[in-house]
Amino acid sequence: MAGQNASQRTHRYDAFLSYSHAADSAKADHLRRGLQNFARSSWRHLHALRIFLDNASLSANPGLWPEIERHLADSGAFILLACPGSAGSDWVQKEINWWRAGLGARRMLIVVTGGELKWDHRAGDFDWEHTTCLPRTMAGMFSDEPRWVDLRWMSEEDPGSLRDSRFQQCVADLAAPLHGRPKEDLIGADVTRQRRTKRLVRGALAVITALAVAAGLGWVNAVQQRDEAQRQARLATSRQLAATALNLKDGNLRLASLLAIEAYRMQESPEAIATLNQLSTDSPHLVSMMSSAKDISALAFSTDDKVVAVGDEGGAVAVWRADDRALRARTSLPGRITAVGFSQDGKRLAAGDSKGNVGVYDLTRKRLRRLAPRPKSVSSLAFGMAGQLAVVDEAGTVALYEESGKMVRAKRSGHSGTVTVFQNVDSHLLVRDGVGGGALYTVPELRTVVESHQLSLPAGQFVQAVSNGGHCFGYLKFGQLISTGLPKRKGHESLADTCPDFPALPNEEARLLALSDNGRMAVGTASGITVADAQTKGETGRLRTLTGVGRPSMLRFSDTGERLASAHGRTVALWNFQQSSRTAHAHGLPLSDDETMIRSPALAAGPDGQVAWDNLMEDDPVVKETRLHVWSPKGRDLLVGGDDLLYGALAFSPDGRTLYAGLSSGVQSWQVQGTRLVKRHTVSFSGRHDDYLDPVMIAPRADGSLVITTDDGAVHIADPSAQRTRIAVPRGPGDPRRGLLSSLSDNGRTAAVQNIKGAVDLYDVDSGRKMQSVRLDGEKVNAFALAGGGHALFLDGSRGTFARWDLDTQRFRWQSDEPNGARVTSSADGRTVLTLADSGALTRWDADTGDRLGGPDVPIPLRTMSGFGGIGEHTGFVMDSAGTLWTATEGGEVLSWDFSVASWIEGLCRIADRNLTDAEWRRYVGTDPPSRPTCS
């Protein structure tokens, strides 16, 4: 029976659905799905009823009617979708006739989808005058009025939802006889099934959601683990590159610089930052490096040391600026360049090659003029003051050219001419060879005045050199320079041995030697370059090792001896012995050392890059009117002022127009005006005045008031235009002359004051309330600085502890036991922290982790009057808002320092003068090289 279990069914289909394809295709399919889903016994059964619908159930078959007949016979009921379209359909009429011939009206259900249906009770049949949805062939088929379902409200274009309540009622009317169960039971069963399904769906959704959440958490965890693994891999690669860079830095600074940059880009780790810092501060005299297409074969500086000429084996000559590596000119000769030299005014460059060619290049007009060639390779050349040119070839022939380029005279001397130089206002020409001999000739006659063919070289291993001026010839053996001169002749005393005494060098085999005329010697060894300064009375000559390059192939001093060019294959390195650091910048601001006590100048940095200090300039008279100075890199005008011989603290107003200077009695306000500092106002300290009451720090606030700490532990507030300060925090108990340290936040809201027990008390300035007290276990606090808007305090202890205290959490973030400085400063945002040791060592620290990142040393002045204190005790230091460090040293100068990673990378790229090659990347990094260059 229809609607029963499969084992009890006698038909394959519970019902056959007959309809008009043209009128009711969508409704038929919608009704079929509704009957299949209504009152299913469980979710495991796909269909509650099996309904035959030709479009859904028939397969392709050439005999369509026999197939339909077979399915009619295999159906337990007949459902007719009645409408005018189905009434006129031949196929529907055939299906009705087949069913009528069999079961007749039994098991036939009518669903009206269109038209009219009316029963005539007197006739016992449909009222065929008014019925339009049934075919006339059904006349007499029903003896009683059949129950029919009305679906005329349903749209063919949009049948609606299967759960529509009206549709559900219609489906229930049809399903009840098909299932053989009351309509109410079916509706109840369907509701129960729907509730059960909803519970199952909710349960399934809950399970799926839980699984999805678990999977999501697992995915997030997997991504985090992957990211952490990648981070650890990058960190390991970064540390490996940093370690490799440190290993290579002494012999190959260019490659080491590139590896250090990539180490930082791989992971901004403390190790990578420390490596960048160390490579930027090592080799302090190194200015730049540049490359040539071929091995370097000739070098020469201009007379003013500003330009260097580089000749190579391929015949190319390049002229570079000695300070910024800017290329000024290029020219060439056919052979290997063997000699280059500048005119006295630096406007012309002469070059000679291995084939005897001689050319003069006009650096102004960018034009090369070829001179009459020499028969042999050119060994040396030189310009005179009047513009004439002397050229010596390897056969010892001296040729003299006029400025016009015409050769006026040539003479065979027998001296190959390692050095050729004009002397005595161009009246004489000195030629020195490489074995100790030489000759002096008159100009322009080339008449011999003095000549020596003496061989002054020893047996065995040695290296020899002649200074640029020809005054000093010597050879180096067993680490000792032995010098000789030409025979003495009256009126030419300079020809005698004028080499100074040099200190003995370390026992390392010398491969190359260069001498200057001002008492400096450079020695090339297998491991690099050693430079020695001459010994003077009572002082041992200074020895320096120039790191960053390997074994040199050529060394050449400038005429002043303050610069050195070294060639290493195809690379030239330029050195400046007046440069004390590659990260420091001199601004021509030398300071006097007029104090006989140890003291660091007061120093302040303004918002626009200006800097102020309390110290006389070099050669200034000792007067109080020139004690204060303000200088700006923008205007470069030095502003001078002051009316006291000693100021204790300096600070700029937020707009940079006023300089506040602290005295033992109060604070002066100086206005920046023109080229002078004009005093506008003085505010005196309130309270008891003692002999030793000095301001330690001044913090201007946005409202125009000042916060001042004094060395008795008090904190003062000076309101605008006030005559006296008001005390926000009174001085501590005990001896007021103790000299207590203090620090202020940049906004002047928080004060840190050392107490007499060696700890640090933290105060809210406006209320005067003590907020916290910080102590280093078992140590006295030697120095400290507030930073980060007063949220961080950096402390230096007497036993070597350096620590960061967070005011918000009231706990130490980190403590470092590495040896550190005796004084502390930081940027206003607290991201950069520096210490300065008594020895002058500047150290940068990682503010977040406490890792030591290293740093340079403050240059030592040539002389000081302040006893034996370390250079750090003579130096004031402060960091401006742009992250630039400023230092001022008694007897030294005012310097600005690059302490940002970006500036270090820029400087290292300038030294490297290239990018990592693909082969180098694969060797040191181990992956495919990226498309980006190391240095842009």
Q: What does DSSP say about strands 750-754 and 760-764: parallel, antiparallel, or unpaired?
A: antiparallel
Query: Which one-letter DSSP state was computed for residue 737?
Result: G
Q: How much is the average pLDDT of 357-373?
A: 95
Per-domain boundaries in the chain: 15-181, 462-579, 597-684+870-897
| Residue 806 pLDDT > 70 | yes
pTM: 0.72
Q: How much is the average pLDDT of 818-846?
A: 84
- Helix, strand, coil: what percent of the chain each, to 5? 20, 35, 45
The percent of residues in the chain predicted with pLDDT above 90, rounded, is 44
Q: Is 440 exposed, middle or buried (0-12, 13-18, 19+ CB in 10 A)?
A: buried
d(CA 359, CA 457): 33
Average pLDDT, the chain: 87
| Residue 737 pLDDT > 70 | no
Given this model, what pLDDT does residue 436 score? 78
pLDDT digit string, tens, across residues 752-780: 999 888 889 999 999 999 999 999 888 88
| Residue 613 pLDDT > 70 | yes
Residue 485: C-alpha distances to residues 392, 413, 482, 556 (Å): 20, 18, 11, 20
| Residue 596 pLDDT > 80 | no
pLDDT grade for 6, boundaries at 50, 70 and 90: very low
pLDDT grade for 869, boundaries at 50, 70 and 90: low
- List residues bridging with 129 in a β-sheet: none
Provide DSSP, 48-92.
SS-EE-HHHHPPP-S-HHHHHHHHHHTBS-EEEEESHHHHT-HHH
Given this model, what pLDDT does residue 485 score? 67
Q: Whole-angstrom distance between the N-terminal and C-terminal Cα of the chain? A: 87
Burial track 269-291 (b if 16+ CB lie within 10 A, e otherwise): bbbbbbbbbbbbbbbbbbbbbbb
- Beta strand extents in 113-234 (DSSP E only): 119-120, 125-126, 148-150
Q: How much is the average pLDDT of 295-308?
A: 95
Q: Is the separation of the CB atoms in 15 and 52 below 8 Å?
A: yes
Q: What is the CA radius of gyration of the chain?
A: 50
Q: Is 394 exposed, middle or buried (0-12, 13-18, 19+ CB in 10 A)?
A: middle
Two tokens, residue 228: 């952490």
Given this model, what pLDDT does residue 312 score? 96
Closest CA to 566 of 293, 558, 574: 574
Q: Which CATH superfamily is domain 462-579 in?
A: YVTN repeat-like/Quinoprotein amine dehydrogenase (2.130.10.10)
pLDDT digit string, tens, across residues 635-677: 767 888 888 878 889 999 998 899 999 988 899 999 987 778 8
Burial track 652-683 (b if 16+ CB lie within 10 A, e otherwise): bbeebebbbbbbbebbbbbbbeeeebebebeb
276-285, 495-504, 893-902: range with lowest mean pLDDT = 495-504
Given this model, what pLDDT does residue 7 score? 37
Closest CA to 772 of 799, 750, 800, 801: 750
φ/ψ of residue 63, rounded to 5: -100, 85
Two tokens, residue 360: 């003069």
Q: Is it true that domain 15-181 has CATH number 3.40.50? A: yes
Given this model, what pLDDT does residue 59 score? 55
Which amino acid is located at 26 in the chain?
A
φ/ψ of residue 811, rounded to 5: -155, 160
The vertex-766 CA angle with 762 and 770, nearest 5°, equals: 30
Two tokens, residue 936: 């842009």
